[in-house]
């Protein structure tokens, strides 16, 4: 599998947009989801750990999942995640983890997965009963957020009502949406939502 982030990983954390998104998303997660030192978390599309590193002080353990080995290599160097993280370079839709978790978090990874419904079913399977979901991604946009021809982008954001229906079909309840942050690029505003849901 081609690592589409191989050439971006080393300087990813220095980019202003990922930094802005991770700050806003984590702030929204802390507002919407109860965290505790006992929680086991899956960070889906963990990248370099921009979200996981900020959540680490509030939870027990993080399973960092990504298909980019280069991004996970950067995550592995983060002092704030030392002793708190297990790294998994795998596609959990086709190769599930051997672990259940209390919380699945993700930021800006869902649009990189072609089959959104299958991904939601995978999240549901990984959650313990009573587990929670906290997922951030772009609201539906015109395709201008990513540069033309960017590989591995399957969705130009998402309609909230369509996601709500997919989550319900996967078995999730208590679905709610908030706008976590608004990204400004070249005089355009791109809202990023945080969706929360629970597994019964």
- Position 106 scores a pLDDT of 98
Each domain of the chain, given as residue ranges in start order, spans: 9-198
Walk along the chain (200 residues) and give the pLDDT tens digit of each residue: 565 566 665 675 567 777 889 999 999 999 999 999 999 999 999 999 999 999 999 999 999 999 999 999 999 999 999 999 999 999 999 999 999 999 999 999 999 999 999 999 999 999 999 999 999 999 999 999 988 888 889 999 999 999 999 999 999 999 999 999 999 988 899 999 999 999 99
Q: Is 160 exposed, middle or buried (0-12, 13-18, 19+ CB in 10 A)?
A: middle
Tell me the C-alpha distance between 172 and 197, whole Å.
Answer: 6
H/E run at residue 125: helix 116-126
* Other CB atoms within 10 A of residue 196 CB: 18
Tell me the C-alpha distance between 29 and 116, whole Å.
Answer: 21
CATH code given to domain 9-198: 3.40.50.150
**Distance from the Cα of residue 37 to its chain's centroid:** 20
Ramachandran region of residue 64, left (φ > 0), alpha (ψ -120 to 50) or beta?
beta
């Amino acid at each position: 599998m081609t690592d589409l982030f191989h050439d971006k990983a080393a300087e990813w954390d220095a980019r202003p947009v990922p930094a802005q998104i991770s700050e806003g998303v984590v702030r929204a997660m802390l507002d919407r989801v109860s965290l505790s030192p006992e929680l086991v978390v899956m960070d889906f599309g963990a990248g370099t750990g921009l979200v996981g590193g900020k959540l680490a002080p509030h939870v027990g353990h993080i399973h960092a999942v990504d298909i980019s080995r280069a991004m996970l290599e950067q995550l592995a160097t983060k002092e704030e995640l030392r002793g708190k993280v297990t790294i998994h370079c795998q596609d959990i839709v086709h190769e599930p983890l051997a672990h259940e978790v209390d919380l699945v978090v993700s930021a800006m990874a869902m649009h990189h997965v072609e089959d959104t419904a299958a991904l939601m079913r995978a999240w549901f399977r990984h959650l313990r009963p009573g587990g929670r979901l906290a997922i951030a991604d772009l609201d539906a946009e015109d395709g201008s957020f990513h540069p033309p021809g960017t590989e591995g982008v399957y969705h130009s954001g998402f309609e909230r009502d369509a996601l709500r229906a997919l989550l319900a079909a996967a078995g999730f309840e208590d679905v709610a949406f908030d706008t976590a942050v608004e990204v400004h690029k070249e005089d355009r505003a791109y809202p990023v939502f945080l969706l929360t849901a629970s597994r019964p």
